[in-house]
Amino acid sequence: MILVTGATGLSGQMIVRELALGRVPAKALIRSMGKASAIGLDKLPGIETVEGDMRAGDDVKAALDGVSRVLLISSASQDMRETQCNFIDLCRQAGVQHVIKFSGAESGIGFDPAKFRFTRMHEEIEDHLEGSGLAWTHLRPSQFMQVYLREAAAISRDGELRLPFADIELAPVAIEDIAKVACRLLREGGHESESLDMTGPEALTMNEVAGRISAATGRPVRYVAIGWDERRSALLGGGASADFVDALYEQLQERLSRPRSRVHLATHDAFGVQPTSFAEFARTYARAFSG
């Protein structure tokens, strides 16, 4: 049996849907049954929702009963390292064979993972998993294309993509592509002791991102390079925690000093996944970007 954690989140949810589409039986660990049913997880064929907190040993032991392969996802938050390292220890005790760690790797050429707390934590969790004696695979996507949906309200209202990214490039990847790889890893196993980086098929400036959203929606959208103070206020005003905003500042500093991005499609190629372009992504989500 397979277990997916973080199943109500942005990436976990899409991966569980992909499993259901492929008729792959799996358990989905969720913290709130209300949230799971609001997004329809409880009605997916072959998916058993299991309520529990990854930090609660008894919940995890019950969820891991009969499980041989796990996809490990939790929020980018201050307790991510502790949550996931403890969870890995519980997997070992429960006799799980293979843990696929949903990690992250920036596309910026020369980006130093030690400079951004969440990539640093991901690498520390990867080290812990590698030392656990369990079979492991690290799935390491770059920025998700879906993060631009967070700017959809301003894009549809003002026709502006307002971000503090100057003229740097990023190579965002569609979660749909990651979900296809994760689903095959969960179903078939293999790729043990491998780190599977994934970016999207193009390194794009924000002018290019805005241009693709504009083409998909048929409305003018322009990139406005804003300063950190405006971005910080917008994030805090939108409900982000001060810690999370501080983390994004660390990431921004490193991104600004590493302005060019690599494109890495070896994982797409190895799994036979056609890379989703940003233009395709923007067309799929055109209604969201149009308001």
Shortest spacing between CB 147 and ligand NAP, in angstroms: 5
Q: In whole angstroms, how close is the CB of 37 to ligand NAP at the nearest point?
A: 13
Nearest to 213 by CA among 204, 222, 201, 205: 222
Q: Out of 61, 65, 75, 109, point to the residue binding ligand NAP (CB under 6 A).
A: 75
Told to check if 10 binds ligand NAP by CB under 6 A, we report yes
Residue with Cβ nearer ligand NAP (7 or 94):
7
Residue 74 in contact with ligand NAP, rule: CB under 6 A: yes
Contact present, 164 and 240 (Cβ < 8 Å): no
Decide: 90 and 58 in contact? Cβ < 8 Å. no
Binding mask 142-181 for ligand NAP (x = CB under 6 A): -xx--x----------------------------------
The least CB distance from residue 238 to ligand NAP, in Å, is 14
Minimum distance from residue 190 beta carbon to ligand NAP (Å): 22
Q: What is the DSSP string of 223-253?
A: EEE--HHHHHHHHHHTT--HHHHHHHHHHHH
Q: How far is the CB of 96 from ligand NAP (least distance, A)?
A: 16
Judged by CB under 6 A, does residue 9 bind ligand NAP? yes
**Burial group, residue 91, by CB count within 10 angstroms (0-12, 13-18, 19+):** buried
Q: CA 266 from chain center: how many Å?
A: 18
Q: Which two tokens stand for residue 249?
A: 């500042």
Residue number with CB closer to ligand NAP (219 or 262):
262
Contact in structure between 262 and 111 (CB atoms under 8 Å): no
**Angle, CA of 106, 161 and 289, to the nearest 5°:** 100
73 is a contact residue toward ligand NAP (CB under 6 A): yes
35 binds ligand NAP (CB under 6 A): yes
Q: Closest Cα partner for 211 from 148, 134, 120?
A: 148
Positions touching ligand NAP (CB under 6 A) are: 5-12, 29, 31-32, 35, 53-55, 73-76, 83, 102, 104, 118, 141, 143-144, 147
